[in-house]
Structure 1
């Protein structure tokens, strides 16, 4: 597949297409793929200079830097259906997490995948026998239950669901709250329990990985499966018209149906009146160091919640850093602020057990619309049809995940096809 750039092929753009998709994130690309596979003509326009939306990777001083810490879960059905995973050259994280506590570092691992970690789960290290039994029962249910059953569970907050499962506040505060804060991008465990159960299931069934070329490899693979010339970059859309859309430079993009798959702010601009939830803000600090402070591809979380999580990306994918260097990514809630990086360095020095004086702040990435707020009751899927010929898709119409974004794109394609070919 080749991507067109704005400013050329004007005559081709003016030809009426069946479906115009605005936004080349994973939701829009999934929608375009399904529409194209059904035999309809589709065009994707993207305001930026690359596909991916929030799921992009950059090169900074020889390091591979994603736009915010992100991982690929190999169990996502939409991902497995659309992408050949081996082509992404995935590198796995350790199946577990390190927890920094005031009394030292604890390890929580999946003993079914890492048998040598079984002693870490002995009663008294991370939790007592009652907590371990309660967590094992919850885990077994989520692992074995079909998704449709989990989707029908009463929807409460995640914190309430953990308490109802018999898990003590002590284990929640020691492990589940700091770990899940990095998943939900909120540290009150106020996220929908239905979504929690689905996420927990996906983690148990899949492996968290990083592509060798960064998470941007995922949308590039989706775009690569589209017919040549489908995606047009650097083409911002100013407004929708009765017959399609109008670009910022005044060109008409005629289409029988328009799918808005852009970011939340663009959705409200192009489709006034569409309900878009609030979003969580996250900032990721990327530090370059002369050597890895950890030496293993494992997430590290903090019971004091001074950061969401931190990891040495170059321990996961050595190619993310130049030779003789290490790349550390640390995410925190909210925007960057004066003095925050200094306070974060002190927390990281304590968590990693090493000095950070030789670390270099490579770059800071703040994602204003990282994940939608998903408090209960949380609809796990919503119609994408707004009005005749107008549709909207994205994680805000499903769940805040790559799976949710792609599923919303797939639903948009189904509803478009149903309307255009009744």
Structure 2
């Protein structure tokens, strides 16, 4: 069948049914263009997918959903996702005790307990109030304006003590940036901190995969073709896995960076962060609240009892715990992580059942100082590349990159 040509010529073919590809397709369809989305998997979502394993709702890797992102507010029917919130704060395990960091604007009593419990001193509270106030109240353009440096340098310049950075920011942000040296762009940190303070961290009732499924449902019927891998790009369009040419006036590659570079040789692939999440099932909940737990010894980035976020994530009468670590799943790592969890939760974890392990090799692009918050998606005539690796490593970045690709495609096709 090599060389066979499909009958219809599309205005645009989008390769990949993740957030960026779905956002791009939706915007192009809204402009009246004929669009085809070719997704290699059996469902849309890319890295943002949800599976059901042993009666548990399991995401491809632990994620949270932020309602404050502009692209999220503009594209998604949040009420239909049936969002379940996390506690507005974090529990920090530090030397045999759990200290609470709470958002003072939403949980003032808990915030005061955290302040008096030794997590933060007066200097740190003043610095936190100043930093959060500026990030929340200032226009986004002003938040992005200061000279870009590392997050660690920015926190030091903001007046935080080394102890508070080590106890709170470093373990907490390692789960956000997937690196523990606070080397991520300070400009990106401020935008993330702004969104956390303005929005609610939560998860859809049916898992994070509900987000791309909602985007896909808004496309015209028949737009998305599942289990349709693309072998190569051609002058006429793309070559599918069966050797047929799918003709298109424009091709948008909306895959991860590595797959995009295979289809578009010469494309720069930024370094990526890898994360592994262990899903354990316990006969009782080790923490009766939907709160992220971090560890000052950084034996894991964060842990959360997902069944406290929504009971339906686990079989009735059981608790589902998700714990993420940086890097791959190596021999013995689950065992050492389980030992750390026993200490941090203050419970026996020997009888916890390991439900599954999820490793995401390209979970986030590395975002070091000098990070461009958005880049052109056009890489050649009729060729475009979008995704979080072309913007910022976030849901907002992926959706915004897809939207930018749609604008550039539409302008060129005119």
TM range (shorter): over 0.9
Q: Are 1:404 and 2:400 counterparts?
A: no
Q: Are 1:203 and 2:232 counterparts?
A: no
Q: Quick one: distance in 2 between partners of 1:213 and 1:112?
A: 29
TM-score, normalising length: structure 1: 0.96
1:152 positional shift = 1.5
Match in the other structure for 2:168: 175
What is the count of residue pairs matched by the alignment?
A: 412
Q: Quick one: distance in 2 between partners of 1:396 and 1:120?
A: 40
1:134 positional shift = 1.0
Q: Are 1:348 and 2:341 counterparts?
A: yes
Of 143-152 and 325-334, more deviation after overlay is shown by: 143-152
Match in the other structure for 1:246: 239
Match in the other structure for 1:287: 280
Gap regions ≥5 residues in structure 1 = 1-6
Q: Quick one: distance in 1 between partners of 2:123 and 2:172?
A: 20
Q: Quick one: distance in 1 between partners of 2:51 and 2:76?
A: 21
TM-score, normalising length: structure 2: 0.98
CA deviations over 1:69-101 (Å, ceiling 9, x no partner) = 011100011111111001000000000000000
Superposition pairs of residues 16-415 of structure 1, within 5 angstroms:
16-123=9-116, 125-415=118-408
Secondary structure, in 3 states, of the residue corresponding to 1:132? helix
Q: Quick one: distance in 1 between partners of 2:226 and 2:298?
A: 39
CA deviations over 1:210-264 (Å, ceiling 9, x no partner) = 1001000000000000000000000100000101000111111100000000122
Question: Structure 2 vs 1, CA of residues 124 and 326 (structure 1 numbering), >3 Å: closer, same or farther?
Answer: closer
CA deviations over 1:154-212 (Å, ceiling 9, x no partner) = 10000000000011111000101000010000000000000000000000000000100
Gap regions ≥5 residues in structure 2 = none
Q: Quick one: distance in 2 between partners of 1:221 and 1:131?
A: 41
Q: Quick one: distance in 1 between partners of 2:286 and 2:373?
A: 39
1:124 positional shift = 5.7
CA deviations over 1:355-403 (Å, ceiling 9, x no partner) = 0011000000000000000001100000000011000000000000000
Secondary structure, in 3 states, of the residue corresponding to 2:412? helix
1:115 positional shift = 2.6
Q: Quick one: distance in 2 between partners of 1:294 and 1:354?
A: 10
